[in-house]
Chains A and B, each alone.
Chain A
Amino acid sequence: DAGVIQSPRHEVTEMGQEVTLRCKPISGHNSLFWYRQTMMRGLELLIYFNNNVPIDDSGMPEDRFSAKMPNASFSTLKIQPSEPRDSAVYFCASSLGGTYNSPLHFGNGTRLTVT
């Protein structure tokens, strides 16, 4: 398996622009997570899905952030409009939910810079 695949690896955009981050989970995994990592706040859970349904989005910072999972093999995290404080590394991760001792597998992340 290729693991969790995220695109793009790097994104540089100007304040006010829309940003879309993409994620393909490991085939067969039914739980998908979006995290944000910064030096100041560390690793933060933004939202997670189980069987394509959003279960907990309490970590989404504000209405500018939205996430979708239209099918089991694809998810997007959108920021509109983007702001400089959104600059961070965004990780997508997947697991086999409902299975004891199933670990979380992370993608390589998207490094977002908003100028």
Chain B
Amino acid sequence: AQRVTQPEKLLSVFKGAPVELKCNYSYSGSPELFWYVQYSRQRLQLLLRHISRESIKGFTADLNKGETSFHLKKPFAQEEDSAMYYCALSDYGNQFYFGTGTSLTVIP
């Protein structure tokens, strides 16, 4: 079975502090992992995909197959980062499994 776990429902950090949103997965094949962000009352938007190994809005995420994790990190949180973040796993674009999301609040 494919599963995505985001253990933190809520996360608060101060502006300028580092932030890490955790994501663990279980998957029997080669995982395709994504992070999505949802700002208040907006649609889910793709933030990162593991294969791109890019940094978007200062966020990075590294796939750790040994720990089956894909944690999202940013060294210095900004107020505009306050949003809901979802980790998702895909099965060749045919199915998507979302975690329950982490609501990030950056305190000024």
- Tell whether A and B belong to one assembly: yes
Interface residues in chain A, defined as those with a beta carbon under 8 Å from any beta carbon in chain B:
31, 33, 42-43, 45, 48, 50, 55-56, 91, 93, 95-109
List, sorted by A's number, 11 A–B pairs whose CB atoms are closer than 8 Å: A31-B94, A43-B101, A48-B95, A96-B93, A97-B93, A98-B92, A99-B92, A99-B93, A101-B49, A104-B96, A106-B43
By a CB distance below 8 angstroms, the chain B residues around A104 are: 34, 36, 44, 46, 88, 90, 93, 96
Q: Does B62 have its Cβ within 8 Å of any Cβ on chain A?
A: no
Contact between chains at A31 and B43 (CB < 8 Å): no
Q: Please, how many residues of chain B have a CB less than 8 angstroms from a CB on the other chain?
A: 21
Q: Does B98 have its Cβ within 8 Å of any Cβ on chain A?
A: yes
Given contacts A98-B92, A102-B90, A104-B90, contact A91 B44 (CB under 8 A): yes
